[in-house]
Structure 1
């Protein structure tokens, strides 16, 4: 193995050590900031070391066909030491800043969504409820007026048709009593009125 290959291997291992330190600090900060359960930490450590071993071996294989020599461990150790001596604090600060920026972005997005979508939708819903409630109240009021206006005409019409309706009423009375038409009509009208009043009260809230 030539000297240039050996130096290149040392450089690759040094960079691998730096990368291992960056990834280790990064996932530690993320796990602390996101408050992962404690039992996840050993699992994450195992996953980290397995992934690091695979990546380092791949880098070693690419640089010197996977030959393990003393300078391989030396380069790896120097990379890790340099990282924790020079780059650990800046990387931790950077990762924390990125997490804070992501949180701020998510909070801003949720606020914009609430202002532009949720609140206008709720306002539109309440407006429609108020309009429907007012419309139903106005409809009931107009119906009462119409009933009061039509009542004299209805009474006059009944008085004029009395010679005809009396015999017809006598003939229908047994069937009327047997079918309990008045009772059923009263229950149906009471149910409809109750439903209408309940819906109208909800519309006014």
Structure 2
């Protein structure tokens, strides 16, 4: 292995150590902000280590065909220490800023959809209910007027058919139907 390959591997492991620190801080901030349940901590830790292992393995395969030497661990250790000494606070601030931006964007989109879509639909629904209620009131009013206009004709019809009704024998079921009809008309006109 040449000196160039060793320095390249050292640089890749330095970057992988810094990337592992970045992923750790981002995961820590996200789990704190999302308030993940306690049972999910082992799952997220396991996922972190799987992703970190794949990252280190891929970089190691790319840099020196997967040969493990002491400078591999040295490079990762230097990268992690460098990250936590100089970059950790910036990554945490950036992650918090991104979370606040996403939350603000979500609230803006939610409010926009509420104002432009939901509130007009609710207003239209209320307007339709008011119009239907008004039309129903007008229909009931007209119905009562028509009934009151027809009542004299109904009384005239009853008076004119009284002699005929006395001559004919009406079956019992027809008489019951006639009595029910008269009772309905009496209830309608007595109000």
TM-score class, shorter-chain normalisation, is 0.7 to 0.9
Q: Which residue of 2 aligns with 1:48?
A: 48
Q: Distance in 2 between matches of 1:43 and 1:19?
A: 20
Distance change >3 Å, CA 156–CA 185, structure 1 → 2: closer
SS in 2 for 1:77: helix
- Structure 1 length normalisation: TM-score? 0.82
Structure 1 consecutive aligned stretches of length 4 or more whose deviation exceeds 3 Å: 165-168, 180-186
Q: Which residue of 2 aligns with 1:153?
A: 153
Q: Distance in 2 between matches of 1:52 and 1:132?
A: 64
Q: Which residue of 1 aligns with 2:177?
A: 181
Distance change >3 Å, CA 167–CA 87, structure 1 → 2: farther
Q: Which residue of 1 aligns with 2:107?
A: 107
Q: Which residue of 2 aligns with 1:24?
A: 24
Report the alpha carbon displacement of residue 184 of structure 1 after superposing the two structures with TM: 7.1
For residues 103-125 of structure 1, give each alpha carbon's deviation from its aligned partner in whole angstroms, at most 9, with x where no partner exists.
11111111111111111111111
Q: Which residue of 2 aligns with 1:171?
A: 170
Q: Distance in 1 between matches of 2:41 and 2:130?
A: 55
Q: Distance in 1 between matches of 2:103 and 2:133?
A: 42
1:3-22 superposed matches below 5 A: 3-22=3-22
The number of residue pairs the alignment matches comes to 185
Q: Which residue of 2 aligns with 1:93?
A: 93
Report the alpha carbon displacement of residue 181 of structure 1 after superposing the two structures with TM: 3.5
Q: Distance in 1 between matches of 2:156 and 2:178?
A: 23
Q: Distance in 2 between matches of 1:125 and 1:109?
A: 23
Q: Which runs of 5 or more structure 2 residues have no equivalent in the other structure?
A: none
Q: Which runs of 5 or more structure 1 residues have no equivalent in the other structure?
A: 194-205
Q: Which residue of 1 aligns with 2:127?
A: 127
SS in 2 for 1:39: helix
Q: Which residue of 2 aligns with 1:77?
A: 77
SS in 1 for 2:130: helix
Q: Distance in 1 between matches of 2:46 and 2:179?
A: 79
Report the alpha carbon displacement of residue 152 of structure 1 after superposing the two structures with TM: 1.6
For residues 30-59 of structure 1, give each alpha carbon's deviation from its aligned partner in whole angstroms, at most 9, with x where no partner exists.
000000012222221122122212220121
Q: Distance in 2 between matches of 1:141 and 1:77?
A: 88
